[in-house]
């Protein structure tokens, strides 16, 4: 199903901003989908330069995968045609089914599921974006790199699925297979979770879920998944307001916050509470070796920043041990005794921090300190940029990368910009360099600490 | 003190990255300080093209304000010279006093305070960056706009003071007067807080504090400040680790987390827990009218995003009322019945969202809904950019600004980028446009909701 050799998009449109283009044609064309692509349109001869067909049944070759972007009332006939044409899977992008809360919507949803099941066609959705599989040239976004990775995802929402794919790509976190499954009328969260659990390409599973169609089966599937690989869960609809939105979004029964918290705790799934946390947690699992414990060493610039970093680390659940005299002595060989803070977090002066060799030397000394299990290097790209050339940024990363390669402890790089435009530009460049060098990059000490604590807890539980 | 007509920097250096240059000369020169500027250097004739002097005493004209960037042991003599030269105030940037924890450091600090007090010179610091006052041409950063605003700040840390000034400027939040006061050996947190409370240019006070030198006086000063204007407090050192760092950073006694929480609650000061929250809270107070209540309407794109936005609003303490049928009918006049979510949060399809006129019309309809007190407009600049020209972004802001001008309710704009570089570029441009149009801009619904709840709570308490 994730490797269709041919795709028909039913409801193709010459209108540039038509959803069928925005969500399907453009991504497939931009991403260079290598299979056959058939637009289905009631009258046009060509769409996007491709020969268009009046119906699925007119396409002379086998069609593996169909996308439905036509009005809900026309979908039952389309599914019948798909049965006739021996289509394997249909993503029903179309909305207007059970999620709109009308009898008619619910009836239509039952009808298409009935036709599909009887005819041996599997449905994804309705009310979703469907499949993402870079290896097969299937993407929810045309602009991201074509790289495959180890993160599999299931996301009830199409928008969140796309945001996940795009934000993860920016962090150089890539996807094995993923799916936006909307109302989950036929194939549901449990089907996809079981699939990703068994999938050898998938090393980590990310879940955005609003409600389980089959709660008992899902609980079992989540337990099995969490026993075999890390599963990170973001539950949408944990407040009264959120639950209300879920009902009209995917028609799911949201369940209470307590039920989900208990479920995650009991199964060993990793619960996160914000979308950004989901991405940060994936970054920790994709990039970092497992730390042996929770003791962190922090290297940064600024006394006040050190105070806040210490607070953030401890609040996240890390320990911040005091710097031993022996490490302090090693640092004193090249740093001045005043104007810097030779403690943990280490507060280097701008001068010491500007020199890539000294920065790398500092990382090496801190990394050799037996009293810590992991290291956070907090950088202000704006400060570096204000006092040096852009090139120095790259040299910094290069020098630190050499040290990091020999380190037995995970190193987390934090790029802090305070939202400042020119710092952001420098941070983007450094982030790309860091990721190439294999560093996990975060945008605050807080985010880094919270993500790595989840990694540590996971390895504490599962070994 | 905040308006010196002449400044001497003692410890001027020809070395480009010398701290005296990075923290004082460059900012003053770049910012265009209009008064007289005297470098003091043991041998050079000129520094930065300015005539240099051997000592304060050799300067032929009166010197209002002196910056000490020489080693700690030389500072007592400098303060004696300042007394002789009738200098009004000295910022002792020099560190190596009580914060290093040695008897010698503590003794030196007592010595300079003794000399200064006897001689009628006031000290800021030691171990700090001193004064910021855009109206007087004094700045902690040379690159920010020369604009003055209504935010006064006191920050124990120099780095945090500078970050505050720079991050705030990026949000078009400008400063009346501010100070980084380090060890607070002479002038302390209470002096500056009392000053800012009385200062007519200061409408809001931001505080980064590690510990109070005079706790009883500070508690009273905080109460008085909070009764006269909003005071936002970020306490550094609320964990065991943080408290440990504070001791060696500014030598302050940090006090427990509970003590500070109680103090803020009792005085009516607004406590924040992260640096970003400090800036977000300032943005809410600077930009927003006081909402009459906590009922929020949210306009955005994406069903899953709506679910998470509802959760974030409710978790922050806002109410998210259901959309009434009458508003829904008005929206239905131009939006399709399916593929969008006509609820609260409102989930517009990409199509409807792309059109600036429709976006503005939607804002108008939602703003007229009696059931809400404030409106959050959550925008994905990356999506706008992917489907349209860069110019459309500006048109969006323009169209919405027209509506906002007639609105009686506060409007918060959220620009979500997911950290994606190209979206970030679009967001920076939109943010600048939004701020020019008078909108408060945030980077997540969560951040916006938490900031506006603080504003609402403040007005609930103080009216």
**Residues B300, B370 within the same domain:** yes
Decide which of A395 and B47 is more confident.
B47
pLDDT higher than threshold 70 for residue A387: no
Does some domain include residue B328? yes
Mean pLDDT (whole number) for B187-212: 97
**Residues B269, B306 within the same domain:** no
User: For residue B386, what pLDDT is reported?
Assistant: 66
Query: Smallest Cα–Cα separation from B220: which of B256, B180, B189, B183?
Result: B189
**Residues B447, B363 within the same domain:** yes
Domain of A107 in residue numbering reads as: 6-124
Please write the tens of the pLDDT for every residue from A132-165: 999 999 999 988 999 999 999 999 999 999 999 9
User: For residue A249, what pLDDT is reported?
Assistant: 78
E strands in A294-423: 296-301, 346-348, 374-379, 411-415
Q: Which among B22, B96, B339 has CB closest to A19?
A: B339
**Residues B64, B148 within the same domain:** no
Residues of A in contact with B244 (CB under 8 A): 310, 320, 322, 343
Any idea what the CATH number is for the domain that residue A105 is in?
Answer: 3.40.50.720
Does some domain include residue B1? no
User: For residue B77, what pLDDT is reported?
Assistant: 98
- CB-hemisphere CA count at 13 Å for B153? 36
**Residues A149, A46 within the same domain:** no
Q: Which among B17, B302, B315 has CB closest to A354?
A: B17
Distance between CA atoms of residues B377 and A313, nearest Å? 33
| A168 close to A276: Cβ distance less than 8 angstroms | no
Where a domain ends, among B71, B104, B124?
B124
Distance between CA atoms of residues A86 and A96, nearest Å? 25
Are B246 and A418 in contact (CB < 8 Å)?
A: no
| A321 close to A294: Cβ distance less than 8 angstroms | no
Mean pLDDT (whole number) for B441-450: 97
Please write the tens of the pLDDT for every residue from B56-105: 999 999 999 999 999 999 999 999 999 999 999 999 999 999 988 899 99
Q: ipTM value, please give it.
A: 0.93
Does some domain include residue A1? no
User: For residue B336, what pLDDT is reported?
Assistant: 75
Does some domain include residue A113? yes
E strands in A110-236: 122-124, 130-132, 148-155, 175-180, 204-209, 231-235
Any idea what the CATH number is for the domain that residue B146 is in?
Answer: 3.40.50.261
Are B160 and A308 in contact (CB < 8 Å)?
A: yes
Are A245 and B159 in contact (CB < 8 Å)?
A: no
Are A350 and B19 in contact (CB < 8 Å)?
A: yes
Does some domain include residue B105? yes
Query: Smallest Cα–Cα separation from B415: which of B455, B456, B385?
Result: B385
**Residues B46, B179 within the same domain:** no
For residue A60, the distance in angstroms to the closest alpha carbon of chain B comes to: 32
Q: How many structural domains does chain A have?
A: 3
**Residues B268, B305 within the same domain:** no
**Residues B118, B246 within the same domain:** no
Query: Smallest Cα–Cα separation from B283: which of B392, B157, B444?
Result: B444
Q: Which among A22, A308, A350 has CB closest to B275?
A: A308
Decide which of B55 and B257 is more confident.
B55
Does some domain include residue B417? yes
Mean pLDDT (whole number) for B270-284: 97
- To test the contact with chain B by mutation, choose from A178, A417, A419 the residue with the greatest count of B C-beta atoms within 10 A, namely A419
Does some domain include residue B46? yes
Helix, strand counts (H, E) of chain B: 18, 18
Where a domain ends, among A101, A124, A147?
A124
**Residues B44, B159 within the same domain:** no
pLDDT higher than threshold 90 for residue B444: yes
| A306 close to A341: Cβ distance less than 8 angstroms | yes
For residue B187, the distance in angstroms to the closest alpha carbon of chain A comes to: 19
Q: Considering the entire predicted model, what is its pTM? A: 0.94
**Residues A305, A394 within the same domain:** yes
Are B245 and A157 in contact (CB < 8 Å)?
A: no
**Residues B283, B327 within the same domain:** no
Where a domain ends, among B124, B156, B191?
B124
Q: What angle do CA A446, A177, A50 make, to 5 degrees?
A: 125
Strand partners, A168: none
Mean pLDDT (whole number) for B19-43: 93
Mean pLDDT (whole number) for A41-61: 95
User: For residue B180, what pLDDT is reported?
Assistant: 97
Exposure string for A116-143, b = 16+ CB within 10 A, e = fewer: beeeebebbbbbbbbbbbbebbbbbbbe
Please write the tens of the pLDDT for every residue from B209-229: 999 999 999 999 999 999 999
Q: Which among B95, B238, B303 has CB closest to A157?
A: B303
Maximum mean pLDDT: which of A172-186, A237-251, B352-366: A172-186
**Which pair of structure tokens corresponds to residue B346?**
């409102």
Are A310 and B244 in contact (CB < 8 Å)?
A: yes
For residue B138, the distance in angstroms to the closest alpha carbon of chain A comes to: 19
Radius of gyration from C-alpha coordinates of chain B: 25
Please write the tens of the pLDDT for every residue from B145-191: 999 999 999 999 999 999 999 999 999 999 999 999 999 999 999 99
pLDDT band at residue B350, thresholds of 50, 70 and 90?
low
**Residues B278, B303 within the same domain:** no
Are B351 and A279 in contact (CB < 8 Å)?
A: no
């Amino acid at each position: 199903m994730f490797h269709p050799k041919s795709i028909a998009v039913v409801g193709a449109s010459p209108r540039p901003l038509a959803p069928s283009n925005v969500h399907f044609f453009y991504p497939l064309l931009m991403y260079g989908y290598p299979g056959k692509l058939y637009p289905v349109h009631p009258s046009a001869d060509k769409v996007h330069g491709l020969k268009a067909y009046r119906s699925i049944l007119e396409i002379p070759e086998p069609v593996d995968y169909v996308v439905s972007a036509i009005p809900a009332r026309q979908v039952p006939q389309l599914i019948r045609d798909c049965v006739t044409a021996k289509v394997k899977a249909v993503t029903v992008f179309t909305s207007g089914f059970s999620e709109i809360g009308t009898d008619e919507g619910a009836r239509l949803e039952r009808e298409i599921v009935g036709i599909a099941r009887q005819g041996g066609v599997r449905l994804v959705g309705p009310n979703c974006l469907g499949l993402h599989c870079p290896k097969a040239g299937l993407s929810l976004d045309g602009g991201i790199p074509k790289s495959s990775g180890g993160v599999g995802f299931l996301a009830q929402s199409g928008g969140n699925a796309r945001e996940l794919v795009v934000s993860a790509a920016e962090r150089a976190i890539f996807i094995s297979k993923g799916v936006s499954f909307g109302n989950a009328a036929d194939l549901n969260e449990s089907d996809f979770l079981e699939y990703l659990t068994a999938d050898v390409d998938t090393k980590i599973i990310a879940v955005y879920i609003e409600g389980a169609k089959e709660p008992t089966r899902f609980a079992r599937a989540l337990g099995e998944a969490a026993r075999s690989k890390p599963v990170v869960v973001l539950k949408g609809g944990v407040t009264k307001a959120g639950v209300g939105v879920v009902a009209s979004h995917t028609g799911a029964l949201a369940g209470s916050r307590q039920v989900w918290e208990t479920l995650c705790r009991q199964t060993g799934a990793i619960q996160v509470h914000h979308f950004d946390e989901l991405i940060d947690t994936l970054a920790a699992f994709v990039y970092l070796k497992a730390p042996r414990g929770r003791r962190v060493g922090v290297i940064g610039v600024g006394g006040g920043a050190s105070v806040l970093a210490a607070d953030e680390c401890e609040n996240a659940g890390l320990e911040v041990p005091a710097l031993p005299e022996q490490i302090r002595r090693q640092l004193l060989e090249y740093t001045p005794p005043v104007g810097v803070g030779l403690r943990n977090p280490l507060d280097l002066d701008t001068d010491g921090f500007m020199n890539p060799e000294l920065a790398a030397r500092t990382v090496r000394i801190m990394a050799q300190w037996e009293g810590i299990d992991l290291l956070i290097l907090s950088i202000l790209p704006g400060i570096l940029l204000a006092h040096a050339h852009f090139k120095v940024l790259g040299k910094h990363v290069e020098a630190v990368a050499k040290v990091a390669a020999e380190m037995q402890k995970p190193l987390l790089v934090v790029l802090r910009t305070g939202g400042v435009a020119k710092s952001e530009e420098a941070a983007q460049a450094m982030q790309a360099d860091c990721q190439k060098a294999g560093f996990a990059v975060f945008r605050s000490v807080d985010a880094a600490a919270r993500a790595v604590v989840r990694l540590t807890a996971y390895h504490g539980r599962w070994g």
